[in-house]
Amino acid sequence: MRNFRRALFEQLDPPKWPGRGLSPLNAFLCVLILIATALAVLETEPLVTRGNEALFHRIEIAFGTLFLLEFLARLWVVPEGSDGPAWRCRLRFVLSPWSLIDILVIVTSFAPFIAANGQMLRLLRLARILRLAKLGRMSSAIQHLTHAIASRRLELGLTAGIALGLLVFGATALYLAEGDIQPDKFGSIPRSLWWAIITLTTIGYGDVYPVTVVGKIIAGFVAICGIGLIAMPTGILAAAFSDAMERSRKADCD
Amino acid sequence: MRNFRRALFEQLDPPKWPGRGLSPLNAFLCVLILIATALAVLETEPLVTRGNEALFHRIEIAFGTLFLLEFLARLWVVPEGSDGPAWRCRLRFVLSPWSLIDILVIVTSFAPFIAANGQMLRLLRLARILRLAKLGRMSSAIQHLTHAIASRRLELGLTAGIALGLLVFGATALYLAEGDIQPDKFGSIPRSLWWAIITLTTIGYGDVYPVTVVGKIIAGFVAICGIGLIAMPTGILAAAFSDAMERSRKADCD
Amino acid sequence: MRNFRRALFEQLDPPKWPGRGLSPLNAFLCVLILIATALAVLETEPLVTRGNEALFHRIEIAFGTLFLLEFLARLWVVPEGSDGPAWRCRLRFVLSPWSLIDILVIVTSFAPFIAANGQMLRLLRLARILRLAKLGRMSSAIQHLTHAIASRRLELGLTAGIALGLLVFGATALYLAEGDIQPDKFGSIPRSLWWAIITLTTIGYGDVYPVTVVGKIIAGFVAICGIGLIAMPTGILAAAFSDAMERSRKADCD
Amino acid sequence: MRNFRRALFEQLDPPKWPGRGLSPLNAFLCVLILIATALAVLETEPLVTRGNEALFHRIEIAFGTLFLLEFLARLWVVPEGSDGPAWRCRLRFVLSPWSLIDILVIVTSFAPFIAANGQMLRLLRLARILRLAKLGRMSSAIQHLTHAIASRRLELGLTAGIALGLLVFGATALYLAEGDIQPDKFGSIPRSLWWAIITLTTIGYGDVYPVTVVGKIIAGFVAICGIGLIAMPTGILAAAFSDAMERSRKADCD
């Protein structure tokens, strides 16, 4: 029994699996999570579920059972990972953010998903999509990204601040120029902000755009100046992430 | 009294606060500026202000008073920072660009904001948004960005010039191709410039686009060639800013 | 005869042509492929082919013959490149992916392209466009790109995973916010995914966008956060490709 | 006379002006070119020229005279720059591309710009916009950009080739998926190419987009894969340009 718990622990929470990959059990769980998420996504499409409600219900119960087993297994093996008394390890484990997501997902799997209606049903489904976040536990991606953000938090903060200021000034400029002509689109700064965000991220849906000559000149000026500044946080984040991965690769070789 | 002025000076204009952060007083002022700006933004939305005009008026007066106190405090403590006679320090302080923004913002806070109408009211509100620029005084972001721009002004100028030339040539090409077909959109080079800016920044609202085969071929060619050149200043600026931050971090360590 | 086969082999599959370029015969074949692809593209346009069906048919047969000759020549000279018995070299050559594309393209060239109709005809034409992939055999571009992707597969996988997760969460958020208001556009997560892809890649056609205040706030938030993360794989790939080319250039000099 | 020619030569074509800037005469000519181009742009707008035709005509003649004087001055001083007989230097100068632009611009300045109509008039105006290219003679930007492109021509060629191939495959995929549903937009590969260019450059006007489920899935896939590859030439070009400027700066210091 003791040995089995040890073996299971090494499968579920390996300190360092050879070859940087996932343990076989974790790889299987990843595939399970991806399939469950894909099903939860498809399930929201009426054209897919029509007539198959019972089937989807049964699949949902099956996945809920599997993830319940995974949670119980993790709860059982967690004392292997630290020295304290078993109950304290387990309590700390249950209260960790990953466990809270697990519990939420498992509970919503078993909730009768036909009873709930409209908005309530949608929130239930959101909980199921949250399963995708469980992948974060197994990968080091989120850790690397968090480190990358932390190591450049000053640059990111400054450029994000400048970008935010630019959004507000751009929105104010268009509010002044076109507030009277298109009151439903530029009639207030919050409304103009929608234009500023969609323009400076270069999405440009085309639902809101200036129509007067003055508005077009200001918008053109804001667009040319702003796009460079809006893109700066992206460049800094990409460079930081690249550096963090490079360092982690070197550390592995040593 | 002397000591209090010294302590206040060190809170308001610290030569170097330990840990690169803001002094407690400046951090409080930053939060104040952000809240005041957010309120000035919300205030322009009729759905928010309807029926709450008196409330917003009172809040505006309160913020105006706080920023007046801040300005007077800065005016009082400014001689601590230099050796000359106090009146000359104060005069120089009052005539600095930051102070002019401060004075403008404070005056507009107390101006009766119901009396003014339409365009005038909007300009008044713009002045309140300008408060956001006060943040620039406290952060080193604008300084870093200014340095980054200055250190690569040659590259930025050259690529900006090339980008500008490209905008004009693209606009001229579409004016030649579609000037007759869509005279209101491509009937002159200034009109075509709106298309060129919105296309080469990849915003693409969809209010103006070529419809003829020749126009589409030219536009496709301009788009493919142009986007690379338009994005170059952004890349150069991001690299320069990243370098400037790196140097500043190293200088801190030494 | 032996010498001619050797000379032909060195023209078709040179171990290393001086000056990094293509051998004269391969350069001629490249031009041939480009012309044939351009014709296959033009051929699909009714305005071009109307009345010229016979001409296009004859050109197609001519290109098919040339590429058949090329294939037979490659089949004949392939034993020059390795030591095993000739029939085994030839079998391995015929079963390689490049040869399968060759055979598919040649067969479809001779298929009567007037007989087939509609969807069938289109697939036939797709096969002709596939000729473009034959260029891959001659260039080292695909090899370099493959190496670049392989050397950073961890970063690319992680950022691609994060980007995918973001797409799903963004789509779910808009499904919750606007599923009732615009059921044909946001009525299910798969439908919302179309919005998420078109928004986070900053294409922004304008066929789908949020119309409620809550939807716009969520979409603005998703856009600002997401665009940086979506752009990260691009930056990493470009850096990796640049590095791979740099190394290849240095290796050439040594 | 000899000395004046020498002094003029050093103003017009300085071997190396101290401080990297332009000579006073060249700086004046730059401003002149910019003003003349701005006027040529404005001139095409009917709202601006209406009633001022005579004024614009006179301004045009004045600029034409100034640029004629500049051209004659350059023609006169050109033998100062080389050792051969004067007539040969002048002939070589007249046949250089810069001179051809000069002559074209001067001739069109004096052509009666009211006589010509419609398309002809537009081409005349294009010639005037070409003046902007004269700036290229004075700046080193185009030289730097040319060097940057030349030094990475292999990478740029490869990524441009991959991008081109991707455009063709994307267009073919949508032609297969939506050719029957939207024949005027995706009915042939050349028509689909307009969609592919506008989508993969992320412009996304919204005049053409897939409407079927299959078309949307293919388009989403093409968009996600393609945008990274399309952006690669830009990144490579920006890096090359940055490097070229860095080297030129270092060379200046030595």
User: What is the per-residue pLDDT across A169-187, written as a single tens digit (0 to 9) for each?
Assistant: 899 999 989 988 999 999 8
Q: Is the ipTM of this complex over 0.95?
A: no
- Mean pLDDT value across residues C162-169: 87
Chain D's closest residue to C196, CA to CA, is D220
Q: Please state, in angstroms and as integers, the Cα–Cα distance from residue C48 to each residue in B17, C41, D38, following that order.
A: 73, 10, 41
Torsion of CA C5, C11, C17, C19, to 10 degrees: 150
**Residue C112: which pLDDT band, with cuts at 50, 70 and 90?**
low
Say what the pLDDT of residue D113 is.
52
Say what the pLDDT of residue B165 is.
86
Say what the pLDDT of residue A195 is.
95
Q: Do B245 and A242 meet the contact criterion of CB atoms below 8 Å apart?
A: no
Say what the pLDDT of residue B171 is.
93
Q: Do B196 and B167 meet the contact criterion of CB atoms below 8 Å apart?
A: yes
The residue length of chain B stands at 254
Copy the structure tokens of residue D216: 């949307």
Q: Do D8 and B151 meet the contact criterion of CB atoms below 8 Å apart?
A: no
Chain B residues in contact with D237 (beta carbon < 8 A): 228-229, 232
Does D46 contact chain B (CB < 8 Å)? yes
- Mean pLDDT value across residues C121-143: 70
| Predicted confidence (pLDDT) per residue in B25-52, tens digit | 888 888 888 888 888 888 888 888 888 8
Query: Which residues 6+ apart lie within 8 Å of D227 measured at CB?
Result: C201, C234, D200, D202
Chain A residues in contact with D38 (beta carbon < 8 A): none
Say what the pLDDT of residue D229 is.
72
Q: Tell me the shortest Cα–Cα distance from B196 to chain D, in angstroms.
A: 11
Query: Which residues 6+ apart lie within 8 Å of C11 measured at CB?
Result: C23, C24, C25, C26
- Mean pLDDT value across residues B79-102: 84
Does C164 contact chain D (CB < 8 Å)? no
Give contacts of A 71-100 with D, CB under 8 A: none
Cβ atoms within 10 Å, residue C86: 12
Does B142 contact chain D (CB < 8 Å)? no
Cβ atoms within 10 Å, residue C117: 8
Chain A residues in contact with B141 (beta carbon < 8 A): 158-159, 161-162
| Predicted confidence (pLDDT) per residue in A16-38, tens digit | 544 456 778 888 888 888 888 88
Q: Tell me the shortest Cα–Cα distance from C229 to chain D, in angstroms.
A: 13
| Predicted confidence (pLDDT) per residue in B197-230, tens digit | 999 988 999 999 999 999 999 999 988 887 777 7
Give contacts of A 185-224 with C, CB under 8 A: 193-194, 197-198, 201-207
The region of weakest confidence among C115-124, C209-218, D62-71 is C115-124
Q: How far is CA D58 from the centre of its chain?
A: 27
Q: Please state, in angstroms and as integers, the Cα–Cα distance from residue A144 to each residue in A136, B166, C158, C224, following that order.
A: 11, 40, 9, 21
Burial of D227 (C-beta count, 10 Å sphere; 0-12/13-18/19+) = buried
Do C202 and B202 count as a contact with CB atoms less than 8 A apart?
yes
- Mean pLDDT value across residues C117-124: 64
Do C165 and A133 count as a contact with CB atoms less than 8 A apart?
yes
Nearest CB among D41, D141, D201 relative to B227 is that of D201
Using the predicted structure, report yes or no on whether residue A241 has a pLDDT greater than 70.
Answer: yes
Say what the pLDDT of residue A29 is.
86
Chain B residues in contact with C204 (beta carbon < 8 A): 204
Q: Tell me the shortest Cα–Cα distance from D204 to chain A, in angstroms.
A: 8
Can you tell me the distance from the alpha carbon of B212 to that of B185, in angstroms, rounded to the nearest whole number? 13
Query: Which residues 6+ apart lie within 8 Å of B164 measured at CB?
Result: none
**Residue A192: which pLDDT band, with cuts at 50, 70 and 90?**
very high
Q: Please state, in angstroms and as integers, the Cα–Cα distance from residue B88 to each residue in B5, B94, B101, B128, following that order.
A: 18, 10, 20, 29
Does D132 contact chain B (CB < 8 Å)? yes
Q: Which residue of B207, B227, B241, B242 is the best one to mutate when testing the D interface, meaning the one whose CB has the most D CBs within 10 A?
A: B227
| Predicted confidence (pLDDT) per residue in A139-179, tens digit | 666 677 777 788 777 778 777 888 888 899 899 999 989 98
- Tell me which residues of chain D have a pLDDT lower than 50: 17-19, 114-115
The residue length of chain C stands at 254
Do A204 and C204 count as a contact with CB atoms less than 8 A apart?
yes
- Mean pLDDT value across residues B167-171: 91
Do C202 and D199 count as a contact with CB atoms less than 8 A apart?
no
Q: What percent of chain C has pLDDT over 90?
A: 19
Can you tell me the distance from the alpha carbon of A128 to that of A126, in angstroms, rounded to the nearest whole number? 5
Q: Tell me the shortest Cα–Cα distance from C253 to chain B, in angstroms.
A: 29
CATH number of this structure's domain D2-138: 1.20.120.350
Does A46 contact chain D (CB < 8 Å)? no
3-state secondary structure chain C: CHHHHHHHHHHHCCCCCHHHCCCHHHHHHHHHHHHHHHHHHHHCCHHHHCCCHHHHHHHHHHHHHHHHHHHHHHHHHHHHHCCCCHHHHHHHHHCCHHHHHHHHHHHHHHCCCCCCCHHHHHHHHHHHHCHHHHHHHHCCHHHHHHHHHHHCHHHHHHHHHHHHHHHHHHHHHHHHHHCCCCHHHHCCHHHHHHHHHHHHCCCCCCCCCCCCHHHHHHHHHHHHHHHHHHHHHHHHHHHHHHHHHHHHHHHHHC
Chain D residues in contact with A206 (beta carbon < 8 A): 205-206
Can you tell me the distance from the alpha carbon of A17 to that of A24, in angstroms, rounded to the nearest whole number? 10
Do D242 and B235 count as a contact with CB atoms less than 8 A apart?
yes
Do A202 and B197 count as a contact with CB atoms less than 8 A apart?
no
Does D19 contact chain B (CB < 8 Å)? no
- Mean pLDDT value across residues C186-203: 92
The region of weakest confidence among A97-111, A209-223, B179-193, C205-219 is A97-111
Copy the structure tokens of residue D64: 């034409």
Does C162 contact chain A (CB < 8 Å)? yes
Say what the pLDDT of residue D20 is.
55
Say what the pLDDT of residue C15 is.
58
3-state secondary structure A75-104: HHHHHHHCCCCHHHHHHHHHCCHHHHHHHH
Nearest CB among D158, D168, D187 relative to C144 is that of D158
Q: Do C26 and C11 meet the contact criterion of CB atoms below 8 Å apart?
A: yes
Say what the pLDDT of residue D120 is.
66
Q: Tell me the shortest Cα–Cα distance from D177 to chain C, in angstroms.
A: 9
Can you tell me the distance from the alpha carbon of A197 to that of A208, in angstroms, rounded to the nearest whole number? 11
**Residue A193: which pLDDT band, with cuts at 50, 70 and 90?**
very high
Residue position matching structure tokens 């390996």: A14
**Residue C24: which pLDDT band, with cuts at 50, 70 and 90?**
confident
Q: What percent of chain C has pLDDT over 70?
A: 85
Query: Which residues 6+ apart lie within 8 Å of C99 measured at CB?
Result: C71, C93
Nearest CB among D179, D202, D231 relative to C238 is that of D231
D144 closest CA partner among D20, D60, D49: D20
Copy the structure tokens of residue B148: 């980054």
Chain C's closest residue to B199, CA to CA, is C203
Fold matches, C2-138 and C149-253: no
**Residue A120: which pLDDT band, with cuts at 50, 70 and 90?**
low
Does A138 contact chain C (CB < 8 Å)? no
Nearest CB among B123, B204, B238 relative to A232 is that of B238
Using the predicted structure, report yes or no on whether residue B14 has a pLDDT greater than 60.
Answer: yes
Do D224 and C139 count as a contact with CB atoms less than 8 A apart?
no
Can you tell me the distance from the alpha carbon of A196 to that of B108, in angstroms, rounded to the nearest whole number? 25
Q: How far is CA B188 from the centre of its chain?
A: 32
Say what the pLDDT of residue B110 is.
78
Q: Tell me the shortest Cα–Cα distance from A9 to chain C, in angstroms.
A: 25
Does B228 contact chain C (CB < 8 Å)? no
Which chains does D contact via 3+ CB–CB distances below 8 A? A, B, C
Using the predicted structure, report yes or no on whether residue C9 has a pLDDT greater than 90.
Answer: no
Say what the pLDDT of residue A112 is.
60
- Mean pLDDT value across residues C17-44: 79
Q: Which residue has the higher pLDDT, B234 or C16?
A: B234
- Any alpha helices (H) in chain D, and if so which ranges? 2-12, 24-43, 46-49, 53-77, 86-94, 97-110, 118-129, 131-138, 141-151, 153-178, 183-186, 189-200, 213-253
**Residue B113: which pLDDT band, with cuts at 50, 70 and 90?**
low
**Residue C196: which pLDDT band, with cuts at 50, 70 and 90?**
very high
Nearest CB among B193, B204, B231 relative to D203 is that of B204
Q: Please state, in angstroms and as integers, the Cα–Cα distance from residue D158 to each residue in A207, C252, D151, D252, following that order.
A: 38, 17, 13, 33
Residue position matching structure tokens 């399963």: A131
Chain B's closest residue to D203, CA to CA, is B202
The region of weakest confidence among A193-202, B187-196, D75-84 is D75-84
Q: Which residue of A172, A207, A221 is the best one to mutate when testing the B interface, meaning the one whose CB has the most B CBs within 10 A?
A: A172
Q: What is the mean pLDDT of chain B?
A: 81
Q: What percent of chain B has pLDDT over 90?
A: 19
Nearest CB among B44, B119, B207 relative to A209 is that of B207
Copy the structure tokens of residue B218: 């030219």
The region of weakest confidence among B53-62, B167-176, B231-240 is B231-240
Do D227 and C204 count as a contact with CB atoms less than 8 A apart?
no
Nearest CB among C20, C141, C238 relative to D162 is that of C141
Do B144 and A158 count as a contact with CB atoms less than 8 A apart?
yes
Say what the pLDDT of residue C89 is.
85
Burial of D217 (C-beta count, 10 Å sphere; 0-12/13-18/19+) = middle
Domain ranges of chain D: 2-138, 149-253
Chain C's closest residue to A49, CA to CA, is C188
Chain C residues in contact with D152 (beta carbon < 8 A): 245
Q: What is the mean pLDDT of chain A?
A: 81
Q: Please state, in angstroms and as integers, the Cα–Cα distance from residue B218 to each residue in B161, B171, B225, B231, following that order.
A: 22, 10, 11, 20
Task: Write the Ramachandran bin of B50: left for phi over 0, alpha for psi from -120 to 50, otherwise beta.
Answer: beta
- Exposure pattern of B38-75 as b/e (b: 16+ CB <10 Å)? eebbebbeeeeeeeeeeebeebbeebbebbbebbebbe
Does C236 contact chain A (CB < 8 Å)? yes
Phi and psi at residue C13, to the nearest 5°: -140, 60
Q: Please state, in angstroms and as integers, the Cα–Cα distance from residue A143 to each residue in A136, A146, A189, C158, C222, following that order.
A: 9, 5, 38, 11, 21
Say what the pLDDT of residue D87 is.
85
Q: Do C230 and A231 meet the contact criterion of CB atoms below 8 Å apart?
A: no
- In sign, the C-alpha dihedral spanning B195, B198, B201, B202 is negative
* CATH 3.40.50.360 is right for the domain spanning D149-253: no
- In sign, the C-alpha dihedral spanning D153, D156, D158, D163 is negative
Can you tell me the distance from the alpha carbon of A205 to that of C211, in angstroms, rounded to the nearest whole number? 12
B34 closest CA partner among D213, A168, C141: A168
